[in-house]
Structures are given as structure tokens and as C-alpha cells.
Amino acid sequence: MNRVVVTGLGPVSSIGIGVSAFTDGLREGRSGISPIRSFDASGFPHRNAGEVPGFRPEALLRRIDPARWGRSGQFAAAAARLALADSGLDPATVAVDRAGVVVGTTSGESVVVEAVTAQQVEAGFGGMDPDLLRQVPAGRLAHAVSTELELAGESLTLATACSASNYAIGYAYDTLATGEADVMFAGGADSVCRWAHAGFFRLGALTADACSPFDRDRSGILTGEGGAILMLETLEHARHRGARIYAEVLGYGLNCDANHPVAPDRASIAACMRAAHRNASIKPEDVDYICAHGTGTPANDSVEAQAIFDVFGDRVPPVSSIKSMIGHTMGAASGFGAIAGTLAIAHGFLPPTINWANPDPALVGLDPVPNTARQASVRVVQNNGFAFGGNNAIVLIGAVE
């Protein structure tokens, strides 16, 4: 089995586009939340989200035409373009069919679906624009990356909702470990959309202004968007080209609650952590930092923390949620978590949970790294991702030994 390392990072986020801006955002505990501009939110009681208003696809993309691809595909392609640049890899040195893409998503080309739906309401089904209908398939998220970077290897979109980036990183890791590929771009993308905003509001899971995970008074998520892609390659390939290596993907674990479409399940999440540790050949005490799913809903944070207590006992590492800064970026969320975790290892700091004011008496023993980033030596990061459908996925990332 090949060892697999992270050598390029491509965040397109509300707190920064590109690895340097994103790192600064995490260190400063920046908030990317702003009033919604991508749709008319005036009829909603809550009107904030983690949009990426500074995203200018034409400034980042070289090959794909933004007019022919949806916003989520553009996020994915731009993030992959940034990851490639960050890696210093000369694509000409890689056999094209040995380089592939796996992109995770919750809602795919949601903005396009909303546009054709508005046309339906306006003019009936026959009024839908055929060019937009061709942009609807979710598979185009991975295809946007493959087209942008001219990659001839696998081009896979995994739609396992809000843990989809961890699925993508895990599958890409397998592809590299088994020798199917030399280089893989993996992560996720999603766009802020009206239907998710409405749905989360209706569930009572959407907060008004600030997401405050693990706080006593936490009251829900804010939706977010962006693209988060990591460039992974085999250790051998990275060393051969003299690459700067950020960290190693140690392994991952997946399981399914098989219980409820939206409610998290403590025992199942704990089982997923144990599976991830086993697959990565580590023990709980090896974990220095948990990049939490940490949505900021009362239920998720409580269940996630209890599962962590179950697995880690009295040695619970610091647990923070970057969703406090960028909102819940859905299918991209665990991709941003993986990037943050990689940066934590590479630069020796813990990203904070911002908007945190009061400890939750039910979560005694949990250190959420409140409000301010902290210097720390980080060798192993556990990156949590949970989702509707009970799709749990956890990736372990470690310093290269």
C-alpha cells in the first residue's frame, strides 16, 4: 500500500480565497457571515449566510467557461486550480490518466436547479432553458475540475450530503493507496441556495446572525458555500518531485446510522470514530485536535460531544468548529475541515470556535478553543463529518513521520 500525502490546498471560502488568505482567516478567527445577496431573502426572518461574494471565477479559471458551468462546479474547479498552484506540481510531469478528481456535494448545482424552477413558475415547464437543464447534473462538479485541469483519470462526484468531502478524500486516498492513481484532487463544493435556507429554517435549525458551536446558548447553523479541494499524491510521487509535504492522510472511517434521516446518533458516531482510528492505525490518545462537525445546533453539538467523550474518555483533545467562521458549507464542510486540520499540523495552531460566550454545563470537559486561535504542536487531527441520511465520515490526518 502506498502512503498518501497532502501537498496542495485550495480553499475558496468566505474568510479567504487561496491558502494564505484562508490561513490568516483561521488564525484571526475571522467571520465570513454577511447579509444574503445570492437570492432575495427579504421574506425570511433570518437573512445571513456565509457567501463568497468575492468569488470571481473568471479571475481563477483558465479553461472552463463560467457561462457553461454552474456555481458549484465553478467553486470546485477554482479550488482545484488553487490547490494545483499551491502544490507546485508541473502537470506536464504527470501521466494525465494517473490524475483524477473526487468531489463531494450536498446539493450539487442548486443555483441552476433554482433558476430553472423559477422559469417553471414563470412560464411553465416548457419555459425551462435547455442550456441550463444541461448544467443541472451533479456529476458536472467533478467534471468541471477534470475539464479545468485537463485530467484524464477518474472524475467522480459523491453526493453524501454534509460529510461528502470526507467521503471524497477517503475514496481518493484509497485510489492512491492501491496504486490506481498518482495524484488526486479531492474535496467538495456547494452554493448557498434558497431551498436549503428555507428547509433549515423550517427545521428550527437556522440561527439569525452568528453561529456559536458548543456554546450553552447555541441556536443553529448558518448556511455557507464555497469550494475546498486538497491535492493528494502518493508519498513516493511527492518525494520524487521534491514536493513540500503538508501532512499525511492516515485513513478514514465510514458508517451509517440507519436510524433517522436528520437526527444524529451518538453510538453510531462513536462507532465511526473507532472505525476511523482502526483504519488509520492510531489510538484515541494519538489525536491532538478534533476539527468538529460542530454545526451549532443544540442536537448536533451535544451528540457529537457525547460521542467524543465515549471514545476519548478523560483524555479529550481540543475540539473546535470552523463553522463558527464560515457557516455550514454543506458538501464542502469537511473539505474545509481537512484543509484547516492540515494547516493546524503544518503551522502548529488550533483554529478557534468564534462567537463562543458561555460553557455548556452538559459538555463539561470539552475545550472548544474559544474565540482565539491557539499555538499548539499538532501531530494528528481527526476531521469529523456527519450528514443527513446518517452518513458519517471521519478522516485522520497526521504529520509525516
Partner 1 sequence: MTGVVITGWSTVSPAGVGRAALAAAAATVPAVATVPAAATVPVGASAGGGWPVEPLPAAPVDVTALSDEPLPTTTGHALVDFDVRAHLGRKGTSFYDRATALAVVACGDALRDAAVQVDDGNRARLGVVLGTSLGSFRSTSDYTRETLVQDKPYLVNPVLFPNTVMNCAAGQAAIRHGLRGVNATVATGPLAFLDALRYGTNAIARGYVDAMLVGAVEEFSPHRAWTTSLTGQPVPTGEAAAVFLLARADQSGWVGPRREAEVLALATAYGPGGGPAADRALTGCVTRAVRRAGIDPAEITCVFTGETGPEDTDEFAPACAALGHVPARMRVSRLFGRCDAATGGLALATFLAAPPTDAAGRLALLTARSPDGGTAVAIVRGWPDAGPADR
Partner 2 sequence: MTQTDPRMAELREIVAEVLELEPEELTETGDFAEDYQADSLRAIEILARLDKKFKIEIPQSELPQLNNLKAVYDAVVRHSAGQA
Catalytically active residues, by annotation? 162, 293, 328
Q: Whose CA is closest to 226, among 33, 65, 8, 7?
A: 33
Q: Write the binding mask 175 to 214 for partner 2: x where contact by CB under 8 A, - elsewhere.
A: ---------------------------xxx----------
- Which CB sits closer to partner 2, 170 or 296? 296
- In the list partner 2, partner 1, none, the entry touching 263 (Cβ below 5 to 8 angstroms by class) is partner 2
Strands 183-190 and 99-104: parallel
Residues 258-297 that bind partner 1 (CB under 8 A): 258-262, 268, 271, 279
Residues 51-70 that bind partner 1 (CB under 8 A): none
Residue 367 burial class via C-beta count within 10 angstroms: exposed 0-12, middle 13-18, buried 19 and up:
middle
- In the list partner 1, partner 2, none, the entry touching 254 (Cβ below 5 to 8 angstroms by class) is partner 1
**Length of the chain in residues, anyone?**
401
d(CA 177, CA 382): 19
The least CB distance from residue 363 to partner 2, in Å, is 21
Q: Which of 43, 124, 126, 261 binds partner 2 (CB under 8 A)?
A: 261
Residues 334-363 that bind partner 1 (CB under 8 A): none
Q: Which of 95, 123, 133, 362 binds partner 1 (CB under 8 A)?
A: 133
- Which CB sits closer to partner 2, 259 or 372? 259
Q: Whose CA is closest to 100, among 15, 11, 174?
A: 174
Interface with partner 1 includes 161 (CB under 8 A)? yes
Q: Which stretch binds partner 2 (CB under 8 A): 38-46, 103-111, 260-268, 284-292?
A: 260-268
Instruction: Return the axis-axis angle of helices 333-347 and 19-28, rounded to nearest 10°.
Output: 80
Interface with partner 1 includes 242 (CB under 8 A)? no
The amino acid occupying position 367 is D
- In the list partner 2, partner 1, none, the entry touching 215 (Cβ below 5 to 8 angstroms by class) is none
Residues 298-327 that bind partner 2 (CB under 8 A): none
Number of residues that bind partner 2 (CB under 8 A): 7
- Which CB sits closer to partner 1, 174 or 310? 174
The least CB distance from residue 194 to partner 2, in Å, is 18
Interface with partner 2 includes 45 (CB under 8 A)? no
- In the list partner 1, partner 2, none, the entry touching 134 (Cβ below 5 to 8 angstroms by class) is partner 1
Q: What is the 3-state secondary structure (H, E, C) of the chain?
A: CCCEEEEEEEEEECCEECHHHHHHHHHHCCCCCEECCCCCCCCCCCCEEECCCCCCHHHHCCCCCHHHCCHHHHHHHHHHHHHHHHHCCCHHHCCHHHEEEEEECCCCCHHHHHHHHHHHHHHCHHHCCHHHHCCCCCCHHHHHHHHHHCCCCCEEEECCHHHHHHHHHHHHHHHHHCCCCCEEEEEEEECCCHHHHHHHHHCCCECCCCCCCCECCCCCECEECEEEEEEEEEHHHHHHCCCCCCEEEEEEEEEECCCCCCCCCHHHHHHHHHHHHHHCCCCHHHCCEEECCCCCCHHHHHHHHHHHHHHHCCCCCCEECCHHHHCECHHHHHHHHHHHHHHHHHHCEECCECCCCCECHHHCCCCCCECCCEECCCCEEEEEECCHHHEEEEEEEECCC
Interface with partner 2 includes 357 (CB under 8 A)? no
Q: Which stretch binds partner 1 (CB under 8 A): 99-107, 295-303, 319-327, 364-372?
A: 99-107
Residues 135-154 that bind partner 1 (CB under 8 A): 136-140, 142-143, 146-147, 150-154
Interface with partner 1 includes 257 (CB under 8 A)? yes
CB atoms within 10 A of CB 19: 21
Q: Which of 208, 262, 267, 357 binds partner 2 (CB under 8 A)?
A: 262
Q: Which of 128, 243, 247, 292 binds partner 1 (CB under 8 A)?
A: 128
Interface with partner 1 includes 125 (CB under 8 A)? yes
- Which CB sits closer to partner 2, 1 or 258? 258
- Which CB sits closer to partner 2, 152 or 262? 262
- Which CB sits closer to partner 2, 184 or 387? 387
Q: Which of 195, 299, 348, 365 binds partner 1 (CB under 8 A)?
A: 195
Binding site for partner 2 (CB under 8 A): 202-204, 260-263
